[in-house]
Amino acid sequence: MAKRNTRRAAQMGAPPTPARQSPSRLTSAVDILALGLAFTVVFNLLFHQYFPNDRGRLGHDYSYFLPHLLAGDFWIQRNGIFAVPWFTPAFCGGVPMFANPQSPYYTVTQFLSALFVDPLTAVYLTLLLFAWMGYAGFYLLLRGPFASGRAVAILGAVLFMFNGLYAHRMMVGHLTFHAFMLMPLLAFLLLRGPFVGAPGSRAAWLAGVAGASATIAYMVMAGMIQMILPVLLSVVVVAILAGGARGGGLRFALRFALSGLLAGAVCLARLTASAAFLEPFPRDDYKLPGAGSVLGAMQLAVESLFFRPAHKAAADGILLNQEWSLDQHEFEFGVTVVPLLALLVGGGVALVRWRRAGFGRPGWRRVLQAVAVALILLLPIVLNCYTPAWNATLKGLPLLRSSSSLIRWFCLYIPVVILGAALAIEGLTSSALAKWLAAAAGVATCLVTNLVADDSFYQQQGYDPAAITKAYHQSDIPDIRTIGDRTAGGNDALVRGTSPGMCYEPIFGYRLEHLPFKTLTPGPVVDQHAGTLNIKNPACYLFPRENHCAPGDHFSVRDKDDAAAFARYRAFAFEMPLRQRLANVVSLLAALGVVALLLRGPVGRLVGRRAGMKGG
């Protein structure tokens, strides 16, 4: 069988498939824990200066997420950690919280903030934790499904850990992007079963599905909605590259589909509520920018991936139909020049080998795989091209129509080019020393590139987290007593017991053009106007029919007790439709099922070990 695979690879011009390795658990533990933590320390040394920066400031979008984390802390203190935070009075006079797709409530960051540290420290611990998880996931992916050597696995893991998208989006305040670092772990969980020749027990297979579904569910619950499609497509590309000619496509597709369905079930309550919240506020009136040509879009992708953020090139005329300026962080996808060099050298060597083998014709399965990969990799380029007709088509598609830019779809390339570079180095030589030297040079280049990068843009960010940090350490929770005006200080006003009417909430538009202010005015929430209080009933945003109101309506005077409870971050009674109640039940049962599947193996081994000890 090994000879046949080698001969087939030679006929196709590819290097022979390496014999499947069985890395020792001790070696893997050392690489993941010791080396992983060492690189995390280096990561910390490079990026701690932005949390906060030299002026004590953070990225501008933390003005959204830090107040939301503090509002989540207030909710937990008043209602307990297991109560669902349906609404919060802290912003816009009262808004949905559970249904907000960007809410960070169900994240590691909120957990850390609620139980251990202040929101700023929780954000930074999240940054380091998920940097390490990205490293560990990519290492496992290369060592497991792709059977690469240690040197190549470490290089790939480091390149992914330091990818420009993650660090710089977190620096500017895009907290939802931390879940991107789970992508290689997701691919590993989906590929480690029978598809790649791992032990095919039913328990292991189900555990892989449960782990993958939990990972996808976390991405959704963390608010990474706009990036979930390119991330999942990158997993598909990785699976195609891992499958080769082993005929495991159907098995992977089954596991992928089951994981997606189970993740959807876990998130069904959130997705159902979010759909209800977003329905009156489609945000499809924003222009969608794009390059004037395919070559222009490719230039933006290549420049941003391998050299420097392409924001200046975009501003110099490549991007058309812009409504909002796209700053440097929008083009941060850098994986350094290392993968580009590896792909060029590896591709050249593969071409020479193919020529020496007589340009053998690849099998039909290889052709289909190549076509599928090419189509997926072309998608971000196509989505970022502009013509009036094509733009109109994109603005008519679900999910995409509410976007103001699709540049972030370039994230699909990050794991793919790193994986391709790792496989190219693995196939270039059989010399372990040469691989270690190449890996060392690649790691050094990656670290030096990050060290000398021009990140002055992030030192100029101006959000001051002091008010949130101070309020976190105070013993009293400031109940919402007033509605603030334009001078209220943005979402930070919650620390003074004020809910800003002019809040920062992109769901209502970047200029709050879709926020139904109605009778909301600066002043005490107990003020009355035509039988209503000066605070919104957020249930009307989600379930207006069941609660006999319209989106944006206020609490009526007769509901002043509910309004008072809401202003104190406490739950209040409201009606929800049957679809939402069913979705709540499905999500609870699915979450319990995932936990049971994940615990089945460890609990079974523990019970078996104890039984063996008693029998002995």
Q: How many CB atoms lie within 10 A of CB 476?
A: 7
Task: Write the burial class of residue 235 (CB in 10 Å: 0-12 exposed, 13-18 middle, 19+ buried).
Answer: buried
Structure tokens at 228: 């979930």
Distance CA 247, CA 65 (A): 45
Question: Per residue in 328-355, pLDDT tens?
Answer: 999 999 999 999 999 998 877 767 766 6
Task: Write the burial class of residue 128 (CB in 10 Å: 0-12 exposed, 13-18 middle, 19+ buried).
Answer: middle
- pTM of the shown model: 0.91
The pLDDT, as a whole number, for residue 191 is 87
Distance CA 65, CA 473 (A): 18
Distance CA 75, CA 73 (A): 5
Distance CA 2, CA 373 (A): 26
Question: Per residue in 495-529, pLDDT tens?
Answer: 999 999 999 999 999 889 999 999 999 999 999 99
The residue extents of the domains of the chain are 2-459
Query: Which candidate, 590, 546, 506, 552, places its Cα nearest to that of 269?
Result: 590
Task: Write the burial class of residue 24 (CB in 10 Å: 0-12 exposed, 13-18 middle, 19+ buried).
Answer: exposed
Q: Is the dihedral of CA 371, 372, 375, 380 positive or negative?
A: negative
Torsions phi, psi for 539 (to 5 deg): -60, -25
DSSP character for 100? -
Name the stretches of the chain with pLDDT < 70.
1-24, 193-201, 244-248, 350, 353-364, 601-616
Query: CA angle at residue 588 from 585 to 590, to 5 degrees?
Result: 105
> Alpha helices, DSSP H only, in 144-227?
150-161, 164-172, 183-191, 202-221
The pLDDT, as a whole number, for residue 247 is 46
The pLDDT, as a whole number, for residue 192 is 78
Identify any residues that bridge with 499 across adjacent strands, giving them in sequence order.
483
15-19 contacts at long range (C-beta below 8 A, 24 or more positions apart) = 15/349, 15/350, 15/353, 15/426, 15/427, 15/428, 17/244, 18/147, 18/148, 18/149, 18/426, 19/147
b/e code 132-166 from CB counts within 10 Å (16+ = b): bbbbbbbbbbbbbbbbbbbbbbbbbbbbbbbbbbb
